[in-house]
Amino acid sequence: MGANTHSPAVVLGLCSFTHDSAAALLADGELLGFVEEERLSQRKHTKDYPRQAIDWLLSEAGLTAHDVDTVAYNFQPLRYLAEVPAAARLALATGTRDRALHRASGFAKVAYRTQKRLQDLGRRFPNARVRPVQHHRAHQLAAFASSGWSESAVLVVDSLGERQTTTIARGLDANRPTTRTLEAINDPASLGYVYGAVTEHLGWRRGDEEGTVMALAALGDPARFHSLFARAVRTTQTGFFVDPSYFPPRVLHGGFARMTRRFVDDTCPGRQPDEPLQDIHRDLAAALQARTEEVMVHLARRAQLVTGSRRLCLGGGVATNCVSVGRIIEADIFDEVFVPPAPGDAGTAIGAAIATHCDSGNSKGIAGVTRSCYLGPTYPDPALDLSPWPGLTQKILGTETAEFLADQLAHGVIVGLFQGAVEAGPRALGNRSILASPLEPGVVERLNATVKFREPFRPFAPMVVAERAKEFFALGQEAPFMSMASQVTEAARQRIPAIVHANGTARLQTVTEWQNPFMHEVLTAFGRITGTPVLINTSLNVKGKPICGTPDMALDCLANSGLDALLLEGRWITK
């Protein structure tokens, strides 16, 4: 067979049926695209089969379901079964005896259900092998491959992947990435589980609003419950242990409490979502967050010790805790820390696809993954029909779009921005953003109350041109994906206090001309007008809704929020 007749090996990576459904497509190792289903379906954190994401990927590549060679799935069903005999040990202890049988049966049922899902995927792609990939390996490869480094430590911390909750690995080779797990911690020792349980106890949605608890923590006193969390989540030489007298072992059935009566008695009753916040809620959030930071720094030190590496990649849901990431950077354990744009389960679609490609023996290296976040659908010339939104009007802007936007922002206009490809991950990275001037009085209050419709204590993140970041932020490294909280300089406190949270930090995004030329131009122009090349950047959505992936979603956001205007692919749309 001649070289010209080569058909690329097509790997479809999937996160599906659990939460944060997403799809990624590799052809001969090149990442052709990635998108989270919620950005197209408008159902936040959806667990649905990512039909729209897959349809877009295959259409863009000129392929059909029959052309997919391998479907890479982000869980391995047989690994759940190992917990069935392990759960028997819980029957030996009085405090966990009542959960042992339920836990064993729950893990067995999930193993069976996952196997059925693999069979379902096989029917959807008749010419494909369906290959399950260990969950933490998918996390590891998604993080390490995105870094572009040739070697690093890789720390994954989440709620649960089969049995694992925490892994330390070493990543090697930027061209054909591999990771080797050196240490692992299994459930029921789970930092993500504890954080989710307390999030729910405080009246917010587990698996969605942990960031709200992280923000609330800055307003509380961690000392009040510090000793409780030190007992409940105890560090060990190689990791940590969760005390079942506070957080009983997970049962994969509904109806089982995630915390004990002892925890409630020692803290406070569960808060209903509509109940007012009290100091005790703030203090509980503060202690939870402080302990999370302590354990994450402890794990980072362990990762450095066992790998000997001077660089760290982070993955898993707990890696979205930007304050903990900032603490690791401040601890100066590593020369540089990297968090991919989609560190949670959605990103494992990419990691599973990479694992499958590299295991296949295909000689082609991985391409299109390094530092990439603008990976989803584009709408470069949308034919906008505004009739469903009768209050909206539009005009076409000329060539000076960045200068125009910067001027509007400098005059206090709050603008939604919809340009280019949909970003990967939960942060606004400058293509689906709400932008505002941090110099405008009362801007945080206005954004929370009338634009985002969220709690008044929630902070807003700054974006800054990378070449001037050190004037305002003390992080000491680039933060391209808004995943790291940084201490701020005196100049930031004086000139842009709106972006400084109550704990003295800001969740920073640095922008280079290479990464996002348009946003770099806007920031530069805003700096020229105001003297401060910093903007508030938050995701283009309102609370409870996914980031707007389509023009219609963006127009809905403009029409039904306090946004003043929307810049949608060169069209200036106002009410």
Nearest 5°: CA angle at 492, between 443 and 324?
A: 90
Q: How confident is the model at residue 91 (pLDDT cuts 50, 70, 90)?
A: confident
pLDDT of residue 5: 47
In 207-278, where does DSSP find H-type helix? Answer: 210-217, 226-232, 261-266
- The answer to whether residue 14 scores a pLDDT higher than 70 is yes
Length of the chain in terms of residues written: 575
Region of 428 (left: φ > 0; alpha: ψ -120 to 50; beta: rest) is: beta
Q: For residues 506 and 462, is the Cβ–Cβ distance under 8 A?
A: yes
What percentage of the chain carries pLDDT values higher than 70? 99
Q: What is the pTM of this model?
A: 0.96
Question: Amino acid letter at 530?
Answer: T
Q: How many CA atoms lie within 13 A of 35 on its CB side?
A: 29
- Sign of torsion over alpha carbons 55, 60, 65, 71: negative
Q: For residues 61 and 3, is the Cβ–Cβ distance under 8 A?
A: no
Give residue-wise pLDDT tens across range 211-265: 999 999 999 999 999 999 999 999 999 999 999 999 999 999 878 999 999 999 9
The tokens describing 257, both together, are: 């409490």
Alpha carbon distances (Å) from 183 to 83, 164, 507: 18, 10, 30
Three-state secondary-structure class, residue 292: helix
What percentage of the chain carries pLDDT values higher than 90? 93
Give residue-wise pLDDT tens across range 301-355: 999 999 999 999 999 999 999 999 999 999 999 999 999 999 999 999 999 999 9
pLDDT of residue 563: 97
- The answer to whether residue 75 scores a pLDDT higher than 90 is yes
In terms of Cα–Cα distance, which of 297, 296, 270 is closest to 284? 270
Rounded to whole angstroms, the Cα distance separating 278 from 285 reads 11
